[in-house]
Structure 1
Amino acid sequence: MKKILLCMGLSALLAGCGGREKPLAEVVDEALARAERQVLLMAEKYGDREGRLPRTWENGEDVSSDSRWWCSGFFPGTLWYVYENSRDPRVLEYARMYTARVEREKYTTDNHDVGFMLYCSFGNGLRLTGDKSYEEVLLTGARSLATRFRPEVGLIRSWDHNRDRWQYPVIIDNMMNLELLLWAAGYSGDESFREMAVSHADKTMEYHYRPDFSSWHVVSYDTVSGKPHIRQTHQGFSDDSAWSRGQAWGLYGYTCMFRLTGEERYLQQARRIAAFLLNHPNMPEDGVPYWDFDSPEIPDTPRDASAAAIMASALIELSGFAEGAEADEYMAFAEKQIRSLASPEYTAPEGTNGDFILMHSTGAYPFSSEVDVPLTYADYYYLEALTRLKRSLQS
């Protein structure tokens, strides 16, 4: 019976039970086609909900947000990736419409997520259309993000809450917002944007990482000395645990920093984080991590498809910066993750799952928030990973 169930679970990965593995290019093309159909259903559903953007689907109900929620840029970005692969004018129209819903966040100075909000939406739109009006949005957004950088600390402040506990909290997720600053430096010629991004990445590398190259989620810095006074894993199992999405944010962030700066130390950091992840004894066979690598309930605890999607996208890019067996290892692991995510185990049937693509992501398990649900950023990084893999296969 166990063999039968295992064979059924791998049905999307193999041409038939015990048969030939489906060619990767075919897996990618089919996944992109399914994603396009699902994303169009979502776009149509929210089309007349002025200012609203999909967030998740929970207990059989849509959960949406306005542009203020940190995830607001991901659905527009997903549409841009679908358009990049299909060139469907309907998708382009939707991508522009939903991107416009996020524009006001260019003035946001009260959180660090401006990069997520604007670069995933307007950044991809600019890349694909060259629309000059998008440049102003991105530059204004970068200037807003830069207001959260404090030179005496050398980092971009993440959160403003819990001031009785944290003096200057910085979360590992913040590595994902540096791409906006580096774009702004290149576009405007203002090197202060680059200096902020490099300072943030360097101090995060110094203080956020443990000797095994896992990371804490939150490090709060003393505003006088600029040194850490608290290290915690706010969304993980414990302060000493490896929260899976946090590890993925770091892998992606340092891979991106190497691409944009050429600084070898960022490549080395990405390689070390990758080694921690790929060799972790609690990494499941299908490459889709549990929500925390140190959860005492493994294997009977939720997965996080969003962590797998972020990892896969980062590993595909990182493989292009490595050589030989190392490059092959990164690409092989990303391929395994993509095959898993594209299977019925994680990809929802069309018209189900609230019209999200992927199932089984976990937002904040310790707070019973968004547990084993679809998440908009899981879909975004999955589409990005598929797009990167398609490019790689065609090169």
Structure 2
Amino acid sequence: MHLVISVCLATFTGFSRAASAPSQLYSPLVAQKLLTTAQSVPNNPIQYPQYTSSDNGQWQYFPADYWTTGFLPASCYAMYTRFNSLCPNSSAANEFLELGRSLSTGEVPLEAYTTVGHDVGFLSFPFVDEAAVDKSNQTATTAVNTFATLLADRFNPIVGCTRSWDTSDPTNFQVIIDNMMNLQVLFDSEALTGNTTLRNIAMSHADKTMQNHVRPDGSSYHLVEYNSTTGAVIWRGTVQGYADNSTWTRGQAWGIYGFANSLCHDLDLIVAVYRNTQQTRYLDTSRQMASFYISQIPSDGIVPWDFNAPLDPPRPADSSAAMIATVGLLMLSQQEASLSPSNTSGAEYWNNAAIKLLSDNTEFAWKPEWQSLLSNGTVNNRDSPPNNLTGITYGDYYFVEAGNQLISMGLASCSSSNSTSPAPSSSQSPHHTSGAVRARRLWW
């Protein structure tokens, strides 16, 4: 069971026990920027930030029917968690909770119609958070269950997976590594309803991903195409990475996180493949993918868009991939610690790896003058023109989550940071009159 960890400890020795979390995680700018962004979203109809301009760091806004919509309200809930329990500040906690709730309202119509396909799991994030805050909130429960049903409807028992992208040819069944992240809504809904079919779908999808996306060395394909009538694999490759045989770093991070995710909310909303199932094959897969990830990080510590992209011309970084992998490594550490007997050396290794990854990439991407928390994210380097050197809403979300995880694990302290500084109140913000803040809370 501990073979992969033993190999890691023998091979990778660049992580110091003295590693410490970057101070930027708990800078007052984190609360201030997120508050301003949340209060500034366009309304009528509501739009959500996805990425910034690479020129000036200003957020670019998109309609609600997009897979990234849930990250800003989920970031508000993450800040509520920080100020409610980790670094107590009741006024800041209440302000972020209200913003998370009001911003989530714009997602409600997506329960009836959405084009995001498998990514309904990402849309569910703020509703799962609200269910943890208020167990009696039926609207949040309905949203989680509805999004889970939409994902379950995309399951093909012959293939054994949920379909990611729709295609004009129904026999071409496409599955991307990202979909590992959406499985959590199936577990969430199972916890609420007792519907074990949802768990079976999630496990089947994870098994097929482990079998067909993950290479023997722990790297991963972005996309696997199946024949929907036979279940046979017909092609493996990439859409957002450098080449079909390369490793797109954000996809690799989704895999680490998706197999190891051990976050557990109130209401016993357990949202992990391994934690839900106690199947060690998922833990071993996360270890294998994490080991590969760490082995490929360049000497400067900065995560590139694709590990195999050439150095000339210079390949862009992807801070969002680094943040996702950081949280995945911290979750993997928690899983090691929870084993019986506890794998303390493995837990310590992943902790140190996560903190170094976080520190290096925060130092590189932190840009106080931008509206986003981080810069140097790559949305899609294969767009025309390439969409890189940006701030990205999910990169910011996992940056905040990393800060919360470190505090909850005892690896960072509010008392030694500025994290307990009050968030600016709405009355102090020049954006207080934005439509999103004025909107009535229609369902909370």
Indicate whether the TM-score tops 0.5.
Answer: yes
Contact 2:171 2:229 in 1 (8 A): no
Paired letter, 1:34: L
User: Which whole-Å CA distance do the structure 1 matches of 2:22 and 2:319 have between them?
Assistant: 21
SS at structure 1 position matched to 2:228: coil
Q: Tell me which amino acid in the other structure corresponds to 1:328.
A: E
Q: Structure 1, residues 158-196: CA drift from partner, whole Å, max 9, x if none?
A: 0014x3597000000000000000111121111110110
State the partner residue of 1:44. Answer: 39
Which structure has more relative contact order (CA 8 Å, sep 6+)? It is 2
2:253 is the alignment partner of 1:248? yes
Distance change >3 Å, CA 340–CA 131, structure 1 → 2: farther
Partner of 2:442: none
Q: Is 1:296 matched up with 2:301? A: no
Q: CA RMSD in A?
A: 2.2
Structure-2 residue corresponding to 1:158: 164
**Residue of structure 2 equivalent to 1:174:** 179
Give the counterpart letter for 2:162 in structure 1: I
Whole-Å separation in 1 of the counterparts to 2:65 and 2:359: 34
The residue aligned with 1:128 is: 133
1:261-272 alignment to 2 at 5 Å? 261-272=277-288
**2:62 paired with 1:56:** no
Tell me which of 329, 332, 335 is aligned to 1:315: 329
The superposition leaves residues 323-342 of structure 1 with CA deviations (integer Å, 9 ceiling, x where unpaired) of 23322121111111222344
CA–CA distance in structure 2, aligned partners of residues 199 and 229 of structure 1:
19
Residue 189 to residue 298, structure 1, CA distance change in 2 (3 Å): farther
Q: How does 1:64-213 map to 2 (within 5 A)?
A: 64-87=61-84, 88=92, 89-108=94-113, 110=115, 111-118=117-124, 120-133=125-138, 134-161=140-167, 163=168, 167-213=172-218
CA offsets per residue over residues 62-103 of structure 1, 9 Å max, x none?
Answer: 311122111011111111111111242221111111111112
TM-score of the aligned structures, taking structure 1 as reference length: 0.87
Q: Distance in 1 between matches of 2:170 and 2:242?
A: 19
Does the 8 A contact of 1:182 with 1:260 survive in 2? yes
Q: Does 1:236 align with 2:236?
A: no
Amino acid across the alignment from 2:63? D
Paired-residue identity, %: 32
* CA–CA distance in structure 2, aligned partners of residues 23 and 49 of structure 1: 47
Confirm or deny that 1:24 pairs with 2:24: no
Relative to the length of structure 2, the TM-score reads 0.78
CA contact (8 A) 1:338 1:386 kept: no
Equivalent residue, structure 1, for 2:340:
none
Unaligned runs of 5+ in 1: 1-20
Shift of 1:228: 0.8
Q: 1:219 to 1:361 in 2, by over 3 A?
A: same
Tell me, which stretches of 5 or more residues in structure 2 are unaligned? 1-16, 85-91, 262-272, 337-342, 413-444
Q: For residues 84 and 318 of structure 1, what CA distance do their matches in structure 2 show?
A: 21
Counterpart-to-counterpart distance in 1, 2:114 and 2:47: 21
Residues 1:244 and 1:341: Cα distance change in structure 2 (over 3 Å): same
